[in-house]
Amino acid sequence: MTEYFDALANGFLGTVRWTWKSILFEVPWYSNYFWGLIIISLIVWGLEILFPWRKEQSIFRKDFWLDAFYMFFNFFIFAIVISGVYKLLGVLFKDLGITATTLTIMDIAHWPQWVQLLVFFVVLDFVQWFTHVLLHKYPVLWQFHKVHHSVKEMGFAAHLRFHWMENILYKPLKTIGVMVLGGFEPEQAYIVHFAAIAIGHFNHSNIKLTYGPLKYILNNPVMHLYHHAYTIPEDSYGVNFGISLSIWDYIFKTNYIPESGGKIKLGFPGDEKLPKGFWGQLVYGFKRPKK
Ligand SMILES: [Zn+2]
Ligand SMILES: [Zn+2]
């Protein structure tokens, strides 16, 4: 029992310490997610100001500060709160005989570094794409995902406006994805995480970017804007589910970009009923969805 309690406490305190050290620049610069997130945000925001797609959209768009707060909440505050629980679960699974290598089908540890990173990125992105589809498909999950879809004006910070339950809902498949790869995060996984943050910021930004022919591989602001469209094609529960990569949507035929003017209405039918502020949204989603 004490073992579990120790895991809970150590996980929590370890993350508090790491976050604090990051703020004080006491961790290696390449693993500093605190300042990394701020720098990526300032760069994408700067580009939005210089090259706006919807020119009439204000620099401090609707809900700018709400989303700015969400960035820090989901990335750091929630991470601190949950870290002890994850550590505890790790110990519990180990006691049950389930370890990181239980599901291994590919041992990528001996592959060249860049191949490891690429495989890690692609596998993690695919399981997130799949989780995202489930969030749209099942009403119980959609209740939580509505918070992300309550964005009415798109800008980089909308990327991290999501209900804290999403952190938890994405976790199982992400963990399984890592286990399939031998339970191992490449040494330089931070490159993958920073790339994912930057791509996600761009996907939500007010910049018209499609990356030319790479649009069939990389998710982009035009494609993701349609993911947030108020009106979606009939008989579908959503389109363009891609996180960093768009290729899954092209493979599974969930891609949909009818035009690229950038001025469509965003949200979802009934979004006026969603609480407007952070605290209301924090507890939203636990009641049974009304038909
Ligand atoms: Zn979605
Ligand atoms: Zn989005």
Q: Distance from the CA of 227 to the center of ligand 2, in angstroms?
A: 7
Q: Distance from the CA of 27 to the center of ligand 2, in angstroms?
A: 30
Residue 291 has pLDDT above 70, yes or no: no
Residue 135 has pLDDT above 90, yes or no: yes
What confidence tier does 286 reach under pLDDT thresholds 50, 70, 90? confident
Q: What's the burial of 114, exposed, middle or buried (CB within 10 Å: 0-12/13-18/19+)?
A: exposed
pLDDT at 289: 57
pLDDT at 32: 93
Percent of the chain with pLDDT over 70: 98
Q: Distance from the CA of 91 to the center of ligand 2, in angstroms?
A: 34
Residue 235, Ramachandran bin (φ over 0: left; ψ between -120 and 50: alpha; else beta): left
Encode pLDDT of 177-231 as tens digits.
Answer: 888 887 767 778 899 999 999 999 999 999 999 999 999 999 999 999 999 999 9
What confidence tier does 174 reach under pLDDT thresholds 50, 70, 90? confident
Q: Distance from the CA of 285 to the center of ligand 2, in angstroms?
A: 18
C-alpha to C-alpha distance for 149 and 158, rounded to whole angstroms:
9
C-alpha to C-alpha distance for 212 and 97, rounded to whole angstroms:
48
Nearest ligand to the CA of 204 is 2
Nearest ligand to the CA of 145 is 1
pLDDT at 3: 85
DSSP states along 230-277: SS--TT-S-S---SSBSHHHHHTT----S---S---BS-TTGGGS-SS
Mean pLDDT of 239-264: 95
Half-sphere exposure (CA, 13 Å, Cβ side) for 171? 13
- 64 contacts 151 by C-beta, under 8 angstroms: no
Q: Distance from the CA of 2 to the center of ligand 1, in angstroms?
A: 40
- 215 contacts 139 by C-beta, under 8 angstroms: no
Half-sphere exposure (CA, 13 Å, Cβ side) for 84? 14
pLDDT at 104: 76
Q: Distance from the CA of 201 to the center of ligand 2, in angstroms?
A: 9
- 106 contacts 180 by C-beta, under 8 angstroms: yes
Nearest ligand to the CA of 225 is 2
Encode pLDDT of 80-126 as tens digits.
Answer: 988 888 888 888 888 888 877 777 777 777 888 888 899 999 999 99
Task: Name residues whose C-beta falls within 8 Å of residue 166's C-beta, 6 or more positions apart in sequence.
Answer: 135, 144, 145, 148
Per-residue tokens: 205: 């930004």
Show the 3-state SS of 169-210: HHHHHHHHHHHHCCCCCCCCHHHHHHHHHHHHHHHHCCCCCC
Residue 290 has pLDDT above 70, yes or no: no
pLDDT at 11: 86
Q: How confident is the prediction for the chain on average, in pLDDT? A: 91
Nearest ligand to the CA of 136 is 1
Q: Distance from the CA of 146 to the center of ligand 1, in angstroms?
A: 8
Q: Distance from the CA of 274 to the center of ligand 2, in angstroms?
A: 17
Q: Distance from the CA of 282 to the center of ligand 1, in angstroms?
A: 18
Per-residue tokens: 231: 């009106």
Residues in a beta bridge with 218: 245
Nearest ligand to the CA of 232 is 1
